[in-house]
Structure 1
Amino acid sequence: MRILLFIHGFNALSQRLFVELEALGHEVSIEFDIHDDNTREAIKLFQPDLVLAPYLKRAIPRDIWENTRCLILHPGPLGDKGPSALDWAILKGESHWGATLLQAEEEMDGGPVWESRSFAMAERPKSSLYRSEISDIAVASVKDALKRIEAGEASPRRLSKQDEDVTGNLQPAIRHKDRVIDWKKDDSETILRKIRSADGVPGAQDGFFGRSLYLYDAHRVSDEALLILNAAPGAVIAKSGFALCRKTKDGALWIGHMRDPHGEHGFKLPAALVLEADLDKELSEVGGYPTICSHRIGDVTHLHFPFYNGAMSTSECEDLLAAYREAAQQDSKVIVLHGGPDFWSNGMHLNVIEASNDAANESWRNINAIDDLAEAIIRTESHLTVAVMHGNAGAGGVFLARACDQVWLRDGVILNPHYKDMGNLYGSEFWTYLLPRYAGEENANRIAEQRLPMGADEAAMLGLADKVLSNNRAFFASEVDEQVMQLCEANVWSNLIDKKIKQRREDEAIKPLSTYREEELTRMRGNFFGFDPSYHVARYNFVHNIAKSRTPITLARHRDKRYQSGAAHRSTHKGYGT
């Protein structure tokens, strides 16, 4: 089937649908919702059998849905309508929620229903629910609907007020004032829901030191000393790295990130950077904010680093390297690097770089700090190393994971193993060593040039991953534990260690690791300090969320002249070698 993905932005859900539909053999192209005339032109060029809209902010024009079947994903249960479905569900503390696939008609979210599924709500931010539960049931719903359409069962369900399973209703667009925090009146749970309901976009509005800020990345505080501290609600009472602890009327909360729309930098940043000039210099530094942590179970050291949105600043890379070196000093056998639940890593922290006084120099510091970590992992001879990807990874994060001896993916994870969309950035993290080694020279070049997301099965087929485990998050964790224990078996572990050391020494004799690093960083220095400003322009546009004026040709294949001439291979014909 020929499917046009019609989207506002190529987010995690859109990427997963793209990957899953292509894996099923469908012919998929993408058009951003920029202007109605662009959309009409895309329809004319691609002539899709179906338009699928998983992420839109406005209605599809009538003349399009009247002539081409258009399916809309709405993040709410049967009968739910309105642009703020998941926001309200979190704010109201719903125990269950859902997603509904319906056909576009005149009434927004009011068309006949193709599929609808529900899930138990977890206590996580809106953006996290979109990437996980919503994404899972959206993919399942789309697959089932396509099966029905292909089988000729083109009869979606018309809802009636009398239907007992219709639990949703029309809800208004949520407003900033619906989430404004009152630290004197709101308890910790209420504040947490307000921030989580707005995490991602637009953030929960609040006042800090007379400034109107937007808050993100909120977590409960468990430290008893902070919970019972006698301070006024709203007071900043401690910090943990760049996170700030703020007193509530019944406890305290960590606030990890903020945005000051009227400040020098109007984008999201670690909280202490936003308020650096206002904070008490004597503010206590304590632990508790969920960042780098490790624990050991028998012969296995687990290292977790749930960095917000997978971005790794210079200081975070340095801290993670210190934690890794400490793990490597233990007499365990395996080090497991977990990343976070939503992202393993997305490489450099572009927001922190953009906010620095010298973006080129901060970029240079950041890439060297990541390279230091990647090199330490590659050179480890005392332990087997495993990157366990619970969540997605992009750019340098993909190759940082591949620096490990084993890479295990949860089924459903999406990788973006390329740098070029960030202003033709060359990339480092020893990708010129790791990618040919695991994927082969021919595939390495194609992967680097594709600029397209990749699913878990494709990553394993190409050598970017070694195992694909369960999509079920609870089962995935138990599978990881089981697989790691197998690596710890004496004969298995010693054989793999010997093979690893032998391979590394052979590779070093052919071309030293330092040479790969020097060559990559020479190219990166040109990106950062050279005459071509493409990287700096692309980073600025990304950080400031500048809307695209056109859909990139790599996504809008219907606009690719090779496609129009029949020369561009589609879908499963990506041209990879075997």
Structure 2
Amino acid sequence: MRILLLCSSYNGLTQRAWTELREDGHHVEVRLSHDEDAIRRAVADTRPELVLCPFLKDRVPADVWQAHRVVVLHPGPLGDRGPSSIDWAITDAEPVWGVTALQAVEEMDAGPIWGHRTFPMPSEPPRKSAVYNGPVADAAIELAREVVAKAQDPAFEPAPVESFGDAVIGRLRPTMKQSDRVFTWEDPTDHVLRRIRAADGSPGVRTQIAGVELSVFDAHRGSATPGAPGSIALRRHGAVLVRTGDGAVWIGHARVPKGIKLPAATVLAGHLDDVPESLERPTGPSDGYREISYRRVGPDGCVGVVRMDLYNGAMSASQGHRVAAALRHAAAQDTRVVVLEAGEVFSNGIHLNVAEGRPDPTVESWRNINAINDVCRELLTCTSQLVVTAVGGPAGAGGVMLALGADTVLLREGAVLNPHYRNMGLTGSEYWTYALPRRVGLAESLRLTGDCLPVGHAEALRIGLVDAVVAGDRAAFDAAVLERAVELATADSYAAALAAKQAAREADELRRPLETYRVQELAEMSRDMFDDRYRYAALRHDFVAKAKDTSFDDPTIARSVREAGQVEELVG
């Protein structure tokens, strides 16, 4: 079937729909809906049998939805309408939420129904992105397949929402404004958390800390400390602990008006001289906020788990140093298997916002890439244990290459990988010229890094990019990873597997020392960053500033920023 994905941006859900519907055998194209004329051009160019809108903020012109079947995937249950659905669901502590597939009509979100799904919401206030990228995305993909099947049935007719009776639990709600999000630091911790997490990602919640007007993001429950609500109790690795009416909340990131989102302590620099530093101990007790941790699980603690829970999967230079230190700590223990797991996003490589916020972004980018390289080296050179990476969420650029440093790569079903660097004007590092070809071969390496297309879980498994795909929600994935790690650690074949790994590493080192890959990659990256040969500075700035890209209509067509032969030379 010819399907057009019409979207406001090529976000994770759109990428997932593109990969999975193509995997089902359909001809799928993507176009961005900059304006009504762009929508008309997209439909005229692609001549679709179905227009599916997985992420659309704009109204579809009447002449388009009258002439074509246009189905919108709305992130709310039956009857819900409005652009702030998930924000309201978290703010109002809705126990159940859902996704609805509805036909586009004149009135937004008011068309007849093609299908719907519901799911329970967690009692702990969730982050908006976690809801969207987790249960909403899973339900949306199920619905996308249902819609495609129904679109191929000439007898199918969508039903009006009124015909669903008691299943209609939503209602029309307006766009959420800052006045709807407001809180005071005298409010209870749960209330503060819910407000901030309902606005996480965008737009944040405006407040004041240490006399500074800012928007806050990345909130975590903290331990109560004596002091006035709104005052800062502690700081830790870029976050600040702000007292509330009955406890405290860690604020990881913030943004001043017209500024960029940065670690909160960076935004508040100059206001923290009297605030003590709370050092993060990887094996110490948690107070609700820990970016990097280590624990042992399984019989006799045979598996060591390093967890990096980094906001949006971006890893700054300082975070990279700490992850590398945690991996060295894990490798020094008497465990048999080391697991590297992550939070909502596995990793997207270097922290572009932190780099952009420094006086010299290029120098900071260079520090950053070297720090992530150190993390990759710890994975690749760990020969005293077997290593597993648990990719439970999306990964991009160097984050994908980092995961490939393990002996076993496990991927959650539905997670999308973007194993390329070109869209940021970089040739890439993270030992990718070693790790990627050893998994998929030279030809696939050139295709993946040259085409700049997302890779779904089915393709990743088929080409050997990952070793196994695990179905289920995030909790089920995490449990399955630990079960697999324990199986590896307790298997009769463990000694033989470890010996084979050690022999392979020694053979590879004799053939070509590992550090030569890094040297060659960084030689190219130095030209990317310091000579700016592929517009890294401008692309980084536009990404951080969230500049609207109107330079292309089809993001599934690779926009090459260099000749493919240069990449081939780097890999070969």
Structure 1 residue corresponding to 2:226, chosen from 227, 230, 252 = 230
1:270 aligns with 2:273: no
Corresponding residue for residue 13 of structure 1: 13
State the SS of the aligned residue for 1:332: coil
Kept in 1, the 8 Å contact 2:313–2:347? The answer is: yes
Specify whether residues 220 and 153 from structure 1 end up closer, same or farther in structure 2 by C-alpha distance, changes over 3 A only: farther
2: CA distance, partners of 1:331 / 1:310: 29
Query: What do residues 205-235 of structure 1 show as CA deviations (whole Å, max 9, x unaligned)?
Result: 11123332111111111x3xxx1x3311111
Q: Which amino acid aligns with 1:494?
A: A
Shift of 1:551: 2.7
Corresponding residue for residue 351 of structure 1: 353
2: CA distance, partners of 1:68 / 1:41: 14
Kept in 2, the 8 Å contact 1:412–1:471? The answer is: no
Q: Which amino acid aligns with 1:89?
A: A
1: CA distance, partners of 2:159 / 2:107: 15
2: CA distance, partners of 1:106 / 1:247: 47
Corresponding residue for residue 247 of structure 1: 243
Shift of 1:282: 4.0
Query: What do residues 475-531 of structure 1 show as CA deviations (whole Å, max 9, x unaligned)?
Result: 323322221122113532111111111111211122111111111000000001115
Q: Pairwise CA RMSD of aligned residues? A: 1.7
State the SS of the aligned residue for 2:410: strand
Query: What do residues 23-76 of structure 1 show as CA deviations (whole Å, max 9, x unaligned)?
Result: 111111111111222221111111011111111222111111111111111111
State the SS of the aligned residue for 1:173: coil
Q: Which amino acid aligns with 1:245?
A: L
Corresponding residue for residue 72 of structure 2: 72
Query: What do residues 335-375 of structure 1 show as CA deviations (whole Å, max 9, x unaligned)?
Result: 000011x1111110000000011111111111111111111
Corresponding residue for residue 370 of structure 2: 368
Corresponding residue for residue 471 of structure 2: 470
Specify whether residues 276 and 540 from structure 1 end up closer, same or farther in structure 2 by C-alpha distance, changes over 3 A only: same
Q: Which amino acid aligns with 1:456?
A: H
Shift of 1:319: 0.5
TM-score, length of structure 2 as denominator length? 0.93
Shift of 1:286: 4.7
2: CA distance, partners of 1:492 / 1:453: 35
Shift of 1:87: 0.7
State the SS of the aligned residue for 2:202: coil
The aligned length equals 548
1:279 aligns with 2:272: yes
Q: Which amino acid aligns with 2:508?
A: D
2: CA distance, partners of 1:507 / 1:300: 26
Q: Which amino acid aligns with 2:395?
A: A
Listed as ranges, the matches of 1:419-434 within 5 Å are 419-423=421-425, 425-434=426-435
Shift of 1:473: 2.7
Shift of 1:126: 0.7
Specify whether residues 513 and 170 from structure 1 end up closer, same or farther in structure 2 by C-alpha distance, changes over 3 A only: same
1:308 aligns with 2:301: no
Q: Which runs of 5+ in 2 are unaligned?
A: 281-286, 561-572
Corresponding residue for residue 322 of structure 2: 319
Corresponding residue for residue 564 of structure 2: none
TM-score, length of structure 1 as denominator length? 0.92
1:499 aligns with 2:500: yes
Kept in 2, the 8 Å contact 1:34–1:550? The answer is: no
Listed as ranges, the matches of 1:550-561 within 5 Å are 550-551=551-552, 553-555=554-556
User: What is the identity percentage for the equivalent residue pairs of Structure 1 and Structure 2?
Assistant: 41
Corresponding residue for residue 446 of structure 1: 447
Listed as ranges, the matches of 1:475-554 within 5 Å are 475-489=476-490, 491-532=492-533, 534-551=535-552, 553-554=554-555
State the SS of the aligned residue for 1:273: helix
**Most deviating of 395-404 and 470-479:** 470-479
Kept in 1, the 8 Å contact 2:227–2:243? The answer is: yes
1: CA distance, partners of 2:153 / 2:480: 36
Corresponding residue for residue 101 of structure 2: 101
2: CA distance, partners of 1:325 / 1:551: 44
Kept in 2, the 8 Å contact 1:9–1:32? The answer is: yes
Specify whether residues 282 and 253 from structure 1 end up closer, same or farther in structure 2 by C-alpha distance, changes over 3 A only: closer
Corresponding residue for residue 140 of structure 1: 142
